[in-house]
Amino acid sequence: MRIPVCLYHGVELGRYSFGDAHPFGPRRLGAFWDEVQRQGLDRQVCMCAPVTAEQSVIERFHTPEYVARVKAQSKHGVGFLDAGDTPAFIGVYEAASIVIGTTLDAVARILRGDCRRAFVPIAGLHHARRDSAAGFCVFNDCGVAIETLRAEHGVRRIAYVDIDAHHGDGVFYAFEDDPDLIFADLHEDGRYLYPGTGHAEETGRGAATGSKLNIPMPPGADDAQFLLQWPRVEALLRAARPEFIVLQCGADSLADDPITHMAYSAASHAHAAERLCRLADEYCQGRLLALGGGGYNLDNIAAAWTAVLRALIES
């Protein structure tokens, strides 16, 4: 019998949204879920419910001062949590805590052997810094997951692969000098897109030099260009032999996203997920966690995330 894939779904996850007028709106989760059901994927996975995280858990990555600030702004829901991309709303602290708790529940289930892989759609909030929100990201579940893998599960060497259109700066800079965080990120060139970072020369600092791979892609980059660069990701991971793989599979790198300029199809996402599952089987006892990340075109969210989920199931 095949060990199942865990998929997280529930209205609580959908509460992480900034309203109808914001790109990170309330219909993202439903767009994915409708397509999951249409393809019958929900019958091939172990369905899991969202979980909320305690404050102390969030503070494994974030500073207590920043967590307290989100909590305070969550009460009145006025203003922004950053310079203007990430608005506060009433209950934003609770909503962001559910993203963290759900990602960590997925980590725990994988480590316990309940499943080999897991997918959390509303997650992969890769821009949040230790001490601030950024780019629609309140708390960085990727960062909390990495800290938790180490502190709670004794997993030190972790590969983080990011194919979202935006550079995963919140993860990159938090672990820039950490040689055991293997980081590979294909993203739209920062000269044309937020957050403007992720230059090819940024390969890690000090002892961590060479543990990071940033691949800026030109605007309009398509599947062929993705496939041309992808082997560099695999080469980095093979040389590093990680114990656990995190994939941030943002759907905003597909053509016709309203806020980016990339032109992949869901085939790129399927390829990345299939190949990383293979690497996870070789080096990580199969352990792979996929996080939805960005994506602001609902059809693209449905296509890219179900392509990843299908790869997790069929690998």
Contact residues for Zn ion, defined by CB under 5 A: 164-166, 250, 252, 294
**C-beta closer to Zn ion: residue 169 or 243:** 169
**C-beta closer to Zn ion: residue 137 or 276:** 137
Minimal distance in Å, beta carbon 263 to Zn ion? Answer: 15
Minimal distance in Å, beta carbon 294 to Zn ion? Answer: 3
Minimal distance in Å, beta carbon 221 to Zn ion? Answer: 14
Minimal distance in Å, beta carbon 23 to Zn ion? Answer: 10
**C-beta closer to Zn ion: residue 147 or 164:** 164
Minimal distance in Å, beta carbon 250 to Zn ion? Answer: 4
**C-beta closer to Zn ion: residue 96 or 149:** 96
Residue 215 burial (C-beta neighbours within 10 Å; 0-12, 13-18, 19+): buried
**C-beta closer to Zn ion: residue 82 or 252:** 252
